[in-house]
Amino acid sequence: MKNFQIIKALSSSSAITGKAKDDSSMFIAGGTNLVDLMKKNIVAPDKLVDINGLDLKKIEFLKGKVTIGALAKNSQVAEDASIKEKHPLLALALAAGASQQIRHMATVGGNMLQKTRCSYYYNTDMPCNKRVPKSGCGAIGGSNRMAAVFGTSDSCIAVHPSDMCVALAALDATVLVDGPKGKREIKFTDFHKLPGNTPEKDNTLDSRELITAVEIPDNNFSKNVHYLKVRDRTSYAFALVSVAVALDIKNNTINDVRLAMGGVAHKPWRLTETEKFLKGKTISEDLFKQAGHLSMKGAKGFGDNNFKLMLGENAVAEALTIAASK
Amino acid sequence: MASKKTNQNKVMPEDSNSRRDFIKKSGLFTALALTPPSLVMATEKKWDEKIAEYLETVPLSIEVNGTKHNLNIEPRTTLLDLLREQLQLTGTKKGCDHGQCGACTVHVNGTRILSCLSLATMQQNAQVTTIEGLSKGKKLHPMQEAFIKHDGFQCGYCTPGQIMSGIACIKEGHANSREEISEYMSGNICRCGAYHNIVDAITEVKEGGKEI
Ligand SMILES: Cc1cc2nc3c(=O)[nH]c(=O)nc-3n(C[C@H](O)[C@H](O)[C@H](O)COP(=O)(O)OP(=O)(O)OC[C@H]3O[C@@H](n4cnc5c(N)ncnc54)[C@H](O)[C@@H]3O)c2cc1C
Ligand code: SF4
Ligand code: FES
Ligand code: FES
């Protein structure tokens, strides 16, 4: 790892100006993704702005919403009693990600900005448009078992690896950011972007902006929820496919529903068509099968990852069944 | 990774030990102009990189297993390398060095973390406990005893990390069943497959109710 300067910021404004002064500087929170990438020389900032001194760790329940500070640790949110009670889907998704040691370090803001786990991105001997724009894509025509099946482009077929973000997309969260041009809010489903021809850019955040918090509006999804994560071993691995489902059931009828998938696209993949299809219908095994089928409409495999099409259908049906039976 | 230079271990006077302070006070060019002839010699012999590195250190105060250290380190030094290479505490193991195996697990301010993904400069004034800090004199920690009793290791490479995680697992309240223990120990990979005995050891310590 190349040596660098490090400065500790004590306020959001000093963090933003500290970073804005120097284009090759980066924020560091838990460091679980950044230090890893720096060790491999995939990113090599000249300066790090340590933001751990900022007052952004609180989880606050306000009227109509909860605000989760960007520096709240993944384990802190996953184990918060009120989060477990009011937004159990988020707690489940967080607990399914990484290991407890990593969750103790990883922050909410950092989790949203973690880089893809596409193996070509990590291998500096291979072409990768995300790592080096216009160098080509190793995964297209190469080994692509983890790759996306929705929203891909000719430049990149990588998936976003986060579990937490799949739940946040389903729960209609909003990202609060602050930057040289002031504060703004970004709808969670607009936060991450599809690769298009600029796969090096993962999201719609300006590189000088700081994530300060994530907000989730109140909802009726406190019981019939599930986060299903399918992976190569039972624990401590990234998702091949994951499904976040939240149901509001009245008299066996689906009053309201939210569905999102992970491991299938460059961003958490919200299934709005399937949500529309399910709303108002009576729960049945057949309904959930149809929902699974509908969810994977338009998906396209790249060889090694063709199995995700069928796996996705089954995972959606299974996640709905488990959530409904809780 | 981090260099093993011994001079990083030296305690420097507070007012001259940060690179930024140094540059602010003298400016890098003045610094070179004022360099004593022996260092100019060193520069000519291509030792200049070493001198540059020396200027790039930052001060760090850290408490490890109850002992306070005032050090100067490179910002890129990870907590793992600081422990092993600079403080010679080699009980904490380097497995993957990329967050994937748990061999480097230590407790920082009472919380288990991975020392390989943690920058030492970010642990200013932290209290760190490593495997060396668990025993009281000759008396082993109950988790160390339980690992021996239940044959919780084979080659022993993953063991320090497993023990640090096992203790944390109980303290966090995540040792209520074998399944829960396995789930919360899943970040610690054992290539010898000593898992079953590890879960036995943790279960015994949890049920023994001793203070850990
Ligand atoms: C072995 C391993 C397994 C893992 N498994 C999973 C998994 O199964 N599921 C999962 O979801 N994740 C997994 N992770 C990823 C982990 O959750 C992320 O690395 C972590 O959430 C990143 O948070 P951090 O605070 O450590 O970020 P950092 O590494 O500090 O930062 C990551 C990026 O975010 C930027 N950043 C951080 N905070 C802010 C902010 N507030 N504003 C603007 N920019 C910011 C940094 O500049 C950097 O670019 C795994 C990681 C490892 C190492
Ligand atoms: S899929 Fe994206 S991240 Fe992977 S090699 Fe291609 S361009 Fe790089
Ligand atoms: S050495 Fe840190 S997790 Fe493997
Ligand atoms: S005992 Fe050998 S790696 Fe665990």
In A231-285, the DSSP E strands lie at 241-250, 253-262, 269-270
Q: Residue A92 and residue B138: Cα distance in Å, rounded?
A: 42
Q: Is the pLDDT of residue B17 over 50?
A: no
CA distance A319 to A75: 23
By C-alpha distance, the chain A residue nearest B164 is A101
Q: Bridge partners of A177?
A: A184, A211
pLDDT band at B55 (very low <50, low <70, confident <90, very high): low
- From residue A237, give the alpha-carbon distance in Å to each of A72, B97, B100: 22, 17, 9
- Chain A residues touching chain B at CB-CB below 8 Å: 1-6, 8, 28, 30-32, 35-36, 38-40, 48, 50, 52, 98-102, 104-105, 235-236
Q: Which residues of A touch B120 (CB under 8 A)?
A: none
What pLDDT is recorded for position B37?
A: 41
Residue with structure tokens 């990438």? A37
ipTM reported for the complex, 2 dp? 0.96
pLDDT at B86 exceeding the cut of 50: yes
Mutate to test the interface with A, among B107, B119, B176 (most CBs of A within 10 A): B119
* Side-chain half-sphere CA neighbours of B3 within 13 A: 19
Q: Considering only CB atoms, which chain A residues are within 8 Å of B169? A: 100
The amino acid at residue B144 is Q
Q: Is the pLDDT of residue A43 over 70?
A: yes
Residue-wise DSSP of B76-132: T-BHHHIIIIIS--TTS--SSSSSSS-TTEEEETTEEEEGGGSBGGGGTT-EEE-GG
CB contact under 8 A, A48 and B19: no
Nearest to A104 by CA among B101, B168, B51, B206: B168
How far A180 CA sits from the closest chain B CA (Å)? 25
**Nearest CA distance, A25 vs chain B (angstrom):** 14
Q: Alpha helices of chain A — where are they, by DSSP H?
A: 12-20, 34-39, 74-78, 81-86, 88-95, 100-105, 108-112, 119-122, 164-170, 188-191, 272-278, 285-295, 307-324
B106 vs A contacts (CB less than 8 Å):
none
CB contact under 8 A, B56 and A3: yes
Q: How far apart are CA A279 and CA A258, in angstroms?
A: 10
Ligand 2 atom with the shortest distance to the CA of A136: 7
Rounded to an integer, the average pLDDT of B170-198 is: 97
Q: Do B122 and A50 touch (CB under 8 A)?
A: yes
Residue B25 clears pLDDT 80, i.e. is over it: no
Inspect the interface and report whether the beta carbons of A4 and B75 lie closer than 8 Å. Answer: yes
Residue A297 has pLDDT above 90, yes or no: yes
**Residue among A267, A239, A263, A260 nearest A97 (CA):** A239
> Hey, what are A206's tokens?
């300006």
- Partner-chain contact A32 B114, CB within 8 Å: yes
Put simply, the answer to whether A100 touches B119 (Cβ < 8 Å) is no
Mutation test residue for ligand 3: of B93, B104, B157, the one with most atoms within 8 Å of CB: B104
CB–CB contact A35 B182 (8 Å): no
Q: Which residue has the tokens 């089928």?
A: A293
Give B175→chain A minimum CA distance, Å: 13
* Residue B21: pLDDT over 90: no
> Tens digit of pLDDT for each residue in A243-257?
999 999 999 999 999
Task: Note the pLDDT of residue A69.
Answer: 98
Which 125-164 residues of chain B touch chain A by CB within 8 A?
none
Pocket flag, ligand 3, residue B95 (CB < 6 Å): yes
Q: What is the largest CA-CA distance in chain A?
A: 62
Residues 6+ apart with CB under 8 A from A235: B182, B183, B186
Please give all residues whose beta carbon lies within 6 A of any atom in ligand 1, as ranges.
A 26-34, 36, 51, 70, 74, 97-98, 102, 105-107, 109-111, 113-114, 161-164, 210-211, 238; B 99-100
Least confident segment among A178-182, A190-194, B4-8, B163-167: B4-8
A150-179 confidence digits (pLDDT tens): 999 999 999 999 999 999 999 999 999 999
Query: Could you tell me which residues come within 8 angstroms of residue A262 by beta carbon, excluding any fewer than 6 positions away?
Result: A159, A160, A161, A162, A163, A165, A166, A229, A239, A241, A242, A243, A244, A268, A269
Q: How many beta-carbon contacts under 8 Å exist across A and B?
A: 82
B58 touches chain A (CB under 8 A): yes
Share of chain A above pLDDT 90, in %: 96
Question: What is the predicted pLDDT for the residue at A176?
Answer: 98
Residues B120, B106 contacting (CB under 8 angstroms): no
Closest ligand 1 atom, residue A27 Cα = 47
CA-CA distance, B159 to B143, in Å (whole number)? 11
Ligand 2 pocket test: pick from A125, A154, A157 the residue with the most ligand atoms within 8 Å of its Cβ: A157
Q: How confident is the model at residue B45 (pLDDT cuts 50, 70, 90)?
A: very low
Higher pLDDT residue, A234 or B10?
Answer: A234
Check CB contact of B174 with chain A, cutoff 8 Å. Answer: yes
What is the DSSP code (8-state) at residue B59?
E
Q: Residue B73: which of B128, B131, B35, B122 has the closest Cα?
A: B122
Mean residue pLDDT across chain B: 83
Residues A169 and A187: their CA atoms lie apart, in Å, by 9
Taking residues B119-138, what's their average pLDDT?
96
Instruction: Report the alpha-carbon distance of residue A214 to residue A70 in Å, rounded.
Output: 7
- What pLDDT does A22 receive? 80
> Is the CB of B187 inside 8 Å of chain A's CB atoms?
yes
- The C-alpha of A167 sits at a distance from chain B's nearest C-alpha, in angstroms, of 21
Residue ranges in chain B assigned as alpha helix (H): 19-26, 28-33, 37-42, 48-55, 79-81, 142-149, 159-171, 178-184, 195-208
Task: For chain A, give the mean pLDDT.
Answer: 97
The one-letter amino acid code at A270 reads R
For residues B4-23, average pLDDT: 42
At residue B49, does pLDDT exceed 80? no
CA A130 to chain centre: 17
B100 lines ligand 3 (CB under 6 A): yes
How is A51-78 classified by DSSP, letter by letter?
Answer: -TTSS---EEEETTEEEEETT-BHHHHH
How is residue B16 annotated by DSSP? G
Average pLDDT over residues B42-48: 45
Contact at CB, B187 and A4, closer than 8 angstroms: no
Per-residue pLDDT, B57: 86
| Contact across the interface for A36 and B112, Cβ inside 8 Å | no
| Residue A247 near residue A225, CB atoms below 8 Å | yes
The answer for B181, left when phi > 0, alpha when psi is -120 to 50, beta otherwise, is alpha
Substitution target in A50, A75, A101, A235 with the highest count of B β-carbons within 10 Å is A101
> Using CB atoms within 10 A of its CB, is residue B15 exposed (0-12), middle (13-18) or buried (19+)?
exposed
Of A190, A271, A269, A220, nearest to A87 by C-alpha is A220
Q: Give residue B34's pLDDT band: very low, low, confident or very high (50, 70, 90).
A: very low
The secondary structure of residue B13, as a DSSP letter, is P
**Res B40: pLDDT:** 41
The 10s digit of each residue's pLDDT in A113-154 is: 999 999 999 999 999 999 999 999 999 999 999 999 999 999
Q: What is the mean pLDDT of residues A217-237?
A: 96
